[in-house]
Amino acid sequence: MNRLPVAERREQLIEAALAVASRDGIDAATVRAIAAEAGVSLGVVHYCFQDKDELLRAMAHAITSQNLARSLGDLPEHADLDTVVDGVVDALWTGISESRGPQLLSYELTTSSLRHAELNQVAIEQYRGQWSAAEQVLELIERTAQIGWAIPRSQVARAIVAVIDGYSLAWLVDADGEQARAGLQGFGQFLKTLAVPAALEPDEGDHASVGAPDGATA
């Protein structure tokens, strides 16, 4: 087998780990299986990574990064609110429905991270990335459709991630893509009701209750 500097070998192993874990599940991503997938011998893994956990952390980091890069890559040019929201929802669902394995893997990683102390940072980093990506998508919508939101943008972002997670999970279980797509599109409709014209949004001090345009602060 050809020789590689350790940095490149490391990336190759991360890709191999990603392939195995996406295909066969996180439990099947043993050091041996990853080495075999990469076509290297067993010892190489521990030559490039101190731990198996370090490899898994690197793999999770790679997923988060490329998720973030991908979700910001689809650029639905400037249009009105309906068009841009529908476009985002559509692109999003297409991206999900075409990658069942990685999608399932990300949930496996989340639960694993919440159980094993060595992976504690993985889940929070994963979700910080998703929330931040959702916020950036929202900013894009704000600019292209010239609107703001009736509730803080960060809360809208959390709602987006939550709804996507929920419908993705359901789709992974029952494989009913139409139900999932319909649900997400329904959420898109709801999103539009949260939009307010851009002019009267910047200086509004308190947003107390969620989803209640008629402020229930008092």
Binding flag, residue 4, DNA (CB under 7 A): yes
User: Which among its own copies, DNA, none contacts residue 107 (Cβ within 5 to 8 A by kind)?
Assistant: its own copies
Binding flag, residue 202, DNA (CB under 7 A): no
Cα(189)–Cα(129) distance, integer angstroms: 24
Encoded tokens for 2: 């050809």
User: Is the Cβ of residue 69 or residue 124 nearer to its own copies in the bound state?
Assistant: 124
Listed in sequence order, the residues at least 6 apart from 55 whose beta carbon sits closer than 8 Å to its beta carbon are 13, 14, 17, 31, 34, 45, 48, 49
Binding flag, residue 205, DNA (CB under 7 A): no
Dihedral class, residue 215 (left if φ above 0, else alpha if ψ from -120 to 50, else beta)? beta
Instruction: Give the range of 1-9, 12-20, 88-96, 173-181 binding its own copies by CB under 8 A.
Output: 173-181
How big is the chain by its Cα radius of gyration, in Å? 20
Binding flag, residue 94, DNA (CB under 7 A): no
- The minimum distance between CB 136 and DNA, in angstroms, equals 35
The residue within the footprint of DNA, chosen from 18, 20, 31, 150 (CB under 7 A), is: 31
Cα(52)–Cα(35) distance, integer angstroms: 12
Q: Which long-range contacts (CB under 8 A, 24 or more apart) does 181-187 make?
A: 181/93, 181/97, 184/89, 184/92, 184/93, 185/86, 185/89, 187/89, 187/160, 187/163
Binding flag, residue 212, DNA (CB under 7 A): no
Q: Which residues bind its own copies (CB under 8 A)?
A: 24-25, 27-28, 104, 107-108, 110-111, 114-116, 123-124, 126-127, 151, 155, 158-159, 161-167, 169-170, 172-174, 179, 182-183, 185-190, 209-212
Q: Which residues bind DNA (CB under 7 A)?
A: 1, 3-6, 9, 28, 30-33, 40-48, 50-53
